[in-house]
Chains A and B, each alone.
Chain A
């Protein structure tokens, strides 16, 4: 367990992307912040995801947040010097059936109405633009916002940056109880007590457990997403690839390794701490990948794994004040939360600082579920 601070303006529970980004923006505004992490920083969902920053694969409700997040990921790397592995390489979202074509057209229209323009490719134009796509791909939309990042180095970069900004990131520091203390809070961490005027619950899949410490029921489901990485290979494709119908995300890193994901489900149980890949789903995941980029069949896979992702029942972020507990906030459980993390952190800091939010976050108020 690392050193636990006695007091902070704001205590953030959870050192994943949401917690660390919230802490970063609060520290930049001059607040003292302590991040309390029960395991290792970046040790769960944030470190076990694909690092895909695809804008066009997001739901309409989170399109603005997701676009802002891409700007911030870029700033983290280019302005602040963090090792994000960020690259805005553009992305293709493919359709392989008549029904998927209809859905892709519909989605393209909705996104355009929300200010995110994508370009339609099919026939020979598609083959010229992306000759590496398989013959079953009938059409694709191209979005030049779509980007990628490397979650492992991004985590390290973000932890270093947050510490450099003066934030204490305490690991092995599980919060076991929270009590009101006048206007503020007392948090029990092992045998220590941390005092804070405000708290942010950014505990991902464990957010429901932490909210329960304050007597608030906040139901959270835990998905178990699988990922597979290949050996390094010569350049096969140069875009982020996603799918309108089947679940898929594909990208090739600068070292040549291809990361294959999308959110096919592994097996396991959050309460017992178990998770592993599911054989049939893994096979399906890789078959979809081979259908879209046939050259993948010649690559060897070196590793596959499964990570938890906390999700609310409607798969939208839990973002805002914790109902009935003034001074307590929630920032967790966005589907695609890794991607959205920087923007969710920025907006959460604005909310805590009492500023007017630059994005409309009302639809994500945790009050929609709390009972």
Chain B
């Protein structure tokens, strides 16, 4: 078992910033990240040795990411790459799967900086090849410089859509339309004061809009995708306006041809680790749904576990950088290090927080996207469970989330429920007329991500205590 003052899970913006800060304050840091290179999603680095011709618009972020990642080479930082944290078997101990290097690390404090995932929103045809999530597309663009199509439509909800539309235009893709579910144009003016707190971000948004305008890309606000078309792969999509009551106006449906449909319905925090250890959560639809309750030092309800960045509640990379630093300082302070006052960091954080609130007001989505689904829409992609399958089991069982899971196998596949449980919870909430916040998701069970069984062969541990007669009770009498 390895030891560390601070173990950081995730080497994205929050994790990298925290590692740099903690190391500079004299802590021994272990960073565990499941990617081959540091950066996370936002600062995703191409694979080592990867070459591409010509400068690209993404190089600025890339350069910034390289600088942050360089901090992980500090002698007080151990950077564990291609390593998956799969359990916290006891307080302060993380189980790590990393091939022959698999084992455990014991830390005085843990910082969870696991980032976000795309919010899954099923609609007819969403599983066709050529339909790509917003995060998935950014991953391809940043990591591999790959654009998986020639003519794209970008649909969904949230500030990422304009960015993705602009990135696709700059990558030479014909963008037929950007389709945003929130009626954003009417909402900008009231939010302007908040947005102005982060003029750099505001300038970026205006630049994306300008790129789209110059390319003649229509931005339909208050519209949503209603289906993807195609047999073997996506060939087009249908879109429809949403009226002021939040209903689809299918009479005004339009369609676009495309071979790439980017669907981004916002992000949600990757909460597997906080949920595994029983951290208290709060439901906040605007910050991605379930979020982690934290104190001013970003410590969650589990002692000595801090959660920073999008993995606590969606706030973006700039906020994550600040939260990582603030949390690292709090840990250093607790471990008796000399730490400067945080006033400047906290002021900067407050500005980002105000900007975030403005953005959330503009992009507040309709109550749900469940109306997009039909009887045969797939909800659980791993186990191929449709809306109709779920309805059948629910009528037989008056089913809770747990019972539907057990009898349909929904959420039991490789993605471990990441891409279906929120949809099932929303369906149950709608049918029973209760708030999403009252429907707890099933607690995750180890491993937090699928890991090779063979990884468990390597750690040096004491031999097992096999009972002489395995038939007899194995535990002490209750």
Residues of A at under 8 Å CB distance from B? 2, 40, 42-43, 47, 59, 152-153, 155-156, 159-160, 205, 208, 219-224, 228-232, 245-247, 262-263, 265, 270-271, 277-284, 286-287, 289-290, 296-305, 311-315, 335
Interface of chain B, main secondary structure? loop
Partner of B473, one of A223, A282, A289: A223
Inter-chain contact B452/A300, CB cutoff 8 Å: yes
Minimal Cβ-Cβ distance residue in B for A301: B453
With contact pairs A40-B400, A246-B466, A280-B461 given, residues A263 and B474 touching in the complex (Cβ less than 8 Å): yes
Residues of B at under 8 Å CB distance from A? 87, 89-90, 93, 95, 104, 396-398, 400, 402-403, 406-407, 409, 412-414, 416, 445-447, 450-454, 456-457, 459, 461-462, 464, 466-467, 470-478
Inter-chain contact B478/A300, CB cutoff 8 Å: no
With contact pairs A283-B456, A301-B451 given, residues A221 and B461 touching in the complex (Cβ less than 8 Å): no
With contact pairs A302-B413, A302-B414 given, residues A297 and B407 touching in the complex (Cβ less than 8 Å): no
Q: Which residues of B contact A277 (CB under 8 A)?
A: 87, 89, 445-446
Q: Beyond A155-B406, A287-B457: 4 further Cβ-contacts under 8 Å? A: A156-B407, A284-B461, A300-B451, A304-B446
Inter-chain contact B445/A304, CB cutoff 8 Å: yes
Q: Which residues of B contact A280 (CB under 8 A)?
A: 461-462, 464
Q: Which residues of A contact B471 (CB under 8 A)?
A: 59, 315, 335
Q: Which residues of A contact B95 (CB under 8 A)?
A: 279
Partner of B477, one of A42, A47, A219: A219
Minimal Cβ-Cβ distance residue in A for B393: A156
Inter-chain contact B396/A287, CB cutoff 8 Å: no
Inter-chain contact A265/B475, CB cutoff 8 Å: yes
With contact pairs A300-B451, A301-B451 given, residues A287 and B456 touching in the complex (Cβ less than 8 Å): yes
The winner among B104, B446, B467 for most chain A CB atoms within 10 A is B446
Interface of chain A, main secondary structure? mixed
Inter-chain contact B450/A301, CB cutoff 8 Å: yes
Complex CA distance for A52 and B380, rounded to whole angstroms = 27
Inter-chain contact A222/B453, CB cutoff 8 Å: no
State the Cβ distance, B116 to closest chain A Cβ, in Å: 21
Complex CA distance for A260 and B198, rounded to whole angstroms = 53
Minimal Cβ-Cβ distance residue in B for A294: B454
Inter-chain contact B406/A47, CB cutoff 8 Å: yes
Inter-chain contact A298/B452, CB cutoff 8 Å: yes
Inter-chain contact A221/B453, CB cutoff 8 Å: no
Complex CA distance for A43 and B446, rounded to whole angstroms = 20
Minimal Cβ-Cβ distance residue in B for A289: B453
Complex CA distance for A223 and B477, rounded to whole angstroms = 9
Complex CA distance for A160 and B392, rounded to whole angstroms = 13
Complex CA distance for A2 and B397, rounded to whole angstroms = 11
- Supply 24 A–B pairs (Cβ within 8 Å), ascending by A: A40-B403, A43-B402, A155-B406, A223-B475, A246-B466, A262-B470, A263-B470, A263-B474, A270-B478, A278-B89, A279-B90, A280-B462, A281-B464, A283-B459, A297-B452, A300-B450, A300-B453, A302-B413, A302-B447, A304-B447, A305-B445, A311-B473, A314-B472, A315-B473
State the Cβ distance, B462 to closest chain A Cβ, in Å: 8
Inter-chain contact B407/A153, CB cutoff 8 Å: yes
Q: Which residues of B contact A271 (CB under 8 A)?
A: 478
Q: Which residues of B contact A301 (CB under 8 A)?
A: 447, 450-453
Inter-chain contact B454/A315, CB cutoff 8 Å: no
Inter-chain contact B475/A297, CB cutoff 8 Å: no
Inter-chain contact A152/B453, CB cutoff 8 Å: no
The winner among A160, A246, A284 for most chain B CB atoms within 10 A is A284
Inter-chain contact B474/A265, CB cutoff 8 Å: yes
State the Cβ distance, B143 to closest chain A Cβ, in Å: 22
Partner of A222, one of B451, B466, B478: B478
Inter-chain contact A247/B453, CB cutoff 8 Å: no
Complex CA distance for A229 and B446, rounded to whole angstroms = 11
Complex CA distance for A296 and B456, rounded to whole angstroms = 11
Q: Which residues of A contact B412 (CB under 8 A)?
A: 229, 302-303
State the Cβ distance, B472 to closest chain A Cβ, in Å: 5
Closest 3 CB pairs of A and B: A297-B454, A279-B89, A300-B450
With contact pairs A283-B456, A299-B452, A311-B473 given, residues A208 and B478 touching in the complex (Cβ less than 8 Å): yes
Complex CA distance for A124 and B119, rounded to whole angstroms = 54
Complex CA distance for A302 and B446, rounded to whole angstroms = 8
Q: Which residues of B contact A205 (CB under 8 A)?
A: 478
State the Cβ distance, A198 to closest chain B Cβ, in Å: 27
State the Cβ distance, B83 to closest chain A Cβ, in Å: 15
Complex CA distance for A100 and B459, rounded to whole angstroms = 26
Q: Which residues of B contact A299 (CB under 8 A)?
A: 452-453
Inter-chain contact A247/B452, CB cutoff 8 Å: no
Inter-chain contact A221/B477, CB cutoff 8 Å: yes
Complex CA distance for A281 and B104, rounded to whole angstroms = 14
Q: Which residues of A contact B403 (CB under 8 A)?
A: 40
Minimal Cβ-Cβ distance residue in A for B412: A303
Complex CA distance for A229 and B412, rounded to whole angstroms = 10
Q: Which residues of A contact B414 (CB under 8 A)?
A: 231, 300, 302
Inter-chain contact B464/A290, CB cutoff 8 Å: no
State the Cβ distance, A4 to closest chain B Cβ, in Å: 15
